[in-house]
């Protein structure tokens, strides 16, 4: 059942959401989860899922509770995702909740995966625990927190986020001789953080040849490097490109069309994905456990994904400059561009 929370309960749920962010970029393909334990109006335990294979948020919060010397029996637990009831890298969370004597569990969002989907709350209720789903703003925030996990659970496909930078007149590249950057230095730093938070980064072969990018997350402490993906139907990626010369930093997947001669790329260490169309390529990425794909390609790749109906959200930097035929770009790094985020689908 869904229930409206009091102001103080909403405060605890917001704290659980804040805690969940501590695992961003470190727990995929698992979801981001935070938990808060409250007894007699006082917070007695907090935790979040910090890394793949590590304690789930509920167990981390109970460990914190015990480290404070508090018996959690009779407490209320606020958790951002329904507690799991299956054995994975960690034992089922419902078991430890029941063992701890938690009296009530308030859950911000459901888990749409086949192995969950309401099982945890049902087991808790059968064990005498009052389990309820939250309603309102915090419930919506909890769903948005785990869009890659939710889409992958429901469709087997990764969430696709498109990043672009453009001028006021809609140009996405500068003229030869000018700075190659349209976005500001601050925005480019943000892009590196997004890379570290994504399972994979995708570009088209045009961008790969023109820009020779590295596509790693830089200047991010302890960053997990994403898988690099090049959509290259004819297998034209140069063997001396930065992507090919940095296979020791992160894996490289090259998506080619059937019949493309990818022998040289494969022999040099790239992993080849043969697919007919974008939907088939995304399905292959999903089967590899990739839950989020961050697109950094140019107009051609963006248009192909739009035509295929495979863009979930767009993050567009708009710089206060004109790049038309008569315009020249100067001092781009000093511009204060604007980020516009549009979500096309919610999972």
Pairing of strands 76-79, 104-107: parallel
Kindly state the DSSP code that residue 23 receives in the 8-state scheme. G
8 A C-beta contact, residue 178 and residue 153 = no
Across the beta sheet with 271-274, what order do the strands follow?
271-274, 252-256, 227-231, 200-204, 292-295, 159-167, 313-319, 338-343
Across the beta sheet with 130-134, what order do the strands follow?
2-3, 130-134, 104-107, 76-79, 34-39, 42-48
Q: Which of 58, 82, 138, 296 is catalytic?
A: 58
8 A C-beta contact, residue 105 and residue 79 = yes
φ, ψ for residue 226, nearest 5 deg:
-75, 160
State the Cα–Cα distance between residues 273 and 137, nearest whole angstrom: 41
Pairing of strands 271-274, 292-295: unpaired
DSSP three-state, residue 20: helix
Please confirm, yes or no, whether 18 is among the known catalytic residues.
no
Active site members = 58
């Amino acid at each position: 059942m869904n229930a409206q929370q009091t102001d103080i309960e909403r405060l605890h749920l917001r704290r659980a959401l804040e805690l969940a962010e501590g695992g961003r970029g470190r727990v995929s393909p698992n979801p981001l989860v935070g938990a808060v334990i409250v007894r007699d109006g006082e917070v007695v335990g907090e935790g979040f899922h910090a890394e793949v294979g590590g304690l789930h948020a509920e167990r981390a919060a109970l460990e914190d509770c015990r480290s404070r010397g508090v018996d959690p029996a009779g407490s209320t637990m606020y958790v951002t995702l329904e507690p799991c009831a299956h054995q994975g890298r960690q034992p089922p969370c419902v078991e430890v909740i029941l063992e701890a004597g938690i009296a009530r569990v308030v859950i911000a969002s459901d888990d749409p995966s086949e192995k969950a989907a309401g099982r945890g709350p049902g087991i808790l209720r059968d064990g005498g625990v009052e389990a309820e789903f939250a309603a309102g703003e915090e419930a919506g925030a909890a769903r948005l927190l785990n869009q890659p996990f939710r889409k992958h659970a429901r469709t087997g496909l990764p969430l696709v986020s498109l990043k672009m930078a453009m001028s006021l007149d809609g140009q996405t590249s500068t003229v030869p001789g000018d700075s190659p950057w349209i976005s500001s230095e601050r925005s480019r730093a943000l892009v590196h953080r997004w890379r570290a938070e994504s399972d994979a980064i995708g570009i088209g072969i045009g961008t790969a040849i023109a820009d020779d990018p590295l596509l790693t997350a830089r200047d991010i402490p302890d960053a997990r490097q994403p898988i690099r993906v090049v959509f290259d139907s004819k297998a034209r990626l140069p063997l001396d490109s930065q992507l090919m010369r940095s296979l020791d930093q992160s894996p490289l997947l090259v998506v080619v069309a059937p019949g493309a001669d990818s022998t040289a790329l494969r022999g040099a260490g790239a992993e080849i994905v043969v697919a007919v169309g974008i939907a088939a390529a995304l399905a292959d990425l999903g089967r590899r456990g990739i839950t989020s794909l961050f697109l950094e390609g140019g107009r051609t790749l963006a248009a192909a994904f739009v035509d295929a109906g495979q863009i979930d959200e767009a993050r567009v930097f708009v710089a206060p400059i004109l790049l038309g035929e008569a315009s020249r770009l100067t001092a781009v790094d000093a511009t204060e561009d604007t980020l516009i985020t549009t979500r096309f689908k919610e999972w």
